[in-house]
Amino acid sequence: MKFATKAIHAGIEPDPTTGAIMTPIYQTSTYVQESPGKHKGYEYARTQNPTRTVLQNNLAALENGQHGICYASGLAATDAILKLFKPGDEIIASNDLYGGTYRIMVRVFQEYGLKFKFIGLENPSALETAITPATKMVWIETPTNPLLRIVDIQSIAAITKAKNTLLVVDNTFASPYLQNPLDLGADIVLHSATKYLGGHSDTVMGALILNDDELTKRLEFIQNACGAVPGPQDCFLVLRGIKTLHIRMQRHCENALKIAQYLSQHPKVSKVNYPGLENHPQHELAKRQMRGFGGMVSFELHGDSLPEAVRVMESFQVFSLGESLGGVESLCTHPASMTHASIPKEEREKNGLKDTLIRLSVGIEDVDDLIKDLERAIG
Ligand SMILES: *Cc1c(COP(=O)(O)O)cnc(C)c1O
């Protein structure tokens, strides 16, 4: 089956009791057993829920994986992965990372004795140098947030495979419509389903997709033991969102490219980050690795003035200023004070994230109105 058909049908059957075409919201905490231990595969809703099962199977199909596990949030999924490790284990993560991922690693799990190294991984040879026998996992995001750099999943996976190390790819920015890391050698794909998968800014959820049966069992054990499960209503919303993922992503990509091109020729704009631009340093890699370039664009203004960047962000009428991304509506974010505030300023600047960078999550409105909004705001 091709993507659009899978998005609508994979893992989804009409409800066996009524024929309801939409998966019901099984709002229940427990399931009646015929005799002790004799049940229909569902015992208690922390462990399993039918609405969640359908979503997990659908997500697994979209990422070409065997297993899906859904969590209360993207960070709950990250938390579960980090609980696979023991004090002294070392994790290498790319340095252009979602702020919350950096925070849970450094502020929570480093306290428990896990060791983290953050390095630039746009050049995979940096990993060859940094990896040691203690390295148990490599964690990448691509495109990266908020600088929209591209990490070569296949080259990184060749190194992690040779060293017998897990590779996790946070695929939130691309969505499974544009990129499938398991096909490129990753072991675990992570999504903040809050973003493009849900797509309507109405729920918070996370997901992991993987092939390995043993690793799936360990993660399911951790989930059941620790309890970070999503509610059935949220599973329903994400399932509904996914039915239009492909057409939303097509429009996100079209609009973002036009906006990146518009910004590139704007005299007040000094830098535009978008992997779909031919002058993006990794445009060729993005073309190979992705089926489109996504809906995220970031840019800087000439003069590097923070008050001027703030004035622009305050002047938008169609773009809303807010955290998050991936919804149908356009959002603008100031990474330094919002999504990435949990990364120390000197760490941010070392990685090229300036305090004046503006990040756009380009929505699926009419692009002419979005460009007019930028024109008015930048002036
Ligand atoms: C939002 C986000 C997360 C965290 O997901 P939540 O659902 O907010 O917990 C992780 N990675 C990326 C790239 C994100 O954008």
Nearest-angstrom CA–CA distance, 110 and 176 = 30
Percent of the chain scored above 70 by pLDDT? 100
Q: Per residue in 358-378, pLDDT tens?
A: 999 999 999 999 999 999 999
Predicted pLDDT at 336: 87
- What are the start-end ranges of the H helices in the chain? 3-9, 50-62, 74-82, 99-103, 125-130, 153-162, 175-178, 213-226, 232-242, 245-264, 283-289, 306-315, 345-350, 367-378
| Mean pLDDT value of segment 308-328 | 95
User: What pLDDT shows up at residue 289?
Assistant: 97
Work out the number of other CB atoms within 10 angstroms of the CB of residue 21: 9
- In our burial notation (b when 16+ CB lie closer than 10 A, e otherwise), range 346-363 reads eebeebebebbbbbbbbb
Minimal-distance CA residue to ligand 1 atom 8: 74
CA distance linking residue 374 with residue 319, whole number of Å: 9
Q: Which of 194, 203, 208, 298 to mutate to test the pocket of ligand 1 (most atoms within 8 A of CB)?
A: 194
The catalytic residues are 46, 98, 170, 195
Equal CATH topology for 3-242 and 245-378? no
- Residue 13 confidence (pLDDT): 95
**Residues 125-172: tens digit of each pLDDT:** 999 999 999 999 999 999 998 999 999 999 999 999 999 999 999 999
Give the start-to-end residue ranges of the domains of the chain: 3-242, 245-378
pLDDT at 342 > cutoff 90? no
Ligand 1: distance of its center to the CA of 144 in Å? Answer: 12
The DSSP-derived string for 114-167 is -EEEEE--SSTHHHHHH--TTEEEEEEESS-TTT-----HHHHHHHHHHTT-EE
337 pLDDT more than 90: no
- CATH architecture of residue range(s) 245-378: Alpha-Beta Complex (3.90)
- pLDDT recorded at residue 23: 97
CA of 267 to the centre of ligand 1 (A): 33
Answer yes or no: is the C-beta of 75 below 6 A from any ligand 1 atom.
yes
The answer on pLDDT for 183 being more than 90 is yes
Spatial separation of the C-alpha atoms in residues 282 and 275, rounded to whole Å:
7
Residue of 171, 172, 204 with the most ligand 1 atoms within 8 Å of its CB, for mutation: 172
Residue nearest to atom 7 of ligand 1 (CA): 74
Q: What would the pLDDT profile of 79-138 be if each residue is shown by its tens digit? A: 999 999 999 999 999 988 898 999 999 999 999 999 999 999 999 999 999 999 999 999
Ligand 1: centre distance to CA 230 (Å): 15
Give the angle 99-100-103 at the CA atoms, nearest 5°: 90
Instruction: Quote the pTM value.
Output: 0.96
Does ligand 1 lie within 6 Å of residue 255's CB atom?
no
Alpha-carbon span 309 to 378, nearest angstrom = 9
Report whether pLDDT(340) > 90: no
In short, whether 96's Cβ falls inside 6 Å of ligand 1 is no
Mean pLDDT of the chain: 96
Determine if ligand 1 sits within 6 Å of the CB of residue 73: yes
CB of 98 sitting under 6 A from ligand 1: yes
Domain 3-242 has CATH 3.40.640.10: yes
Tell me which of 188, 195, 235 to substitute to probe ligand 1's pocket, judged by most ligand atoms within 8 Å of the beta carbon. 195
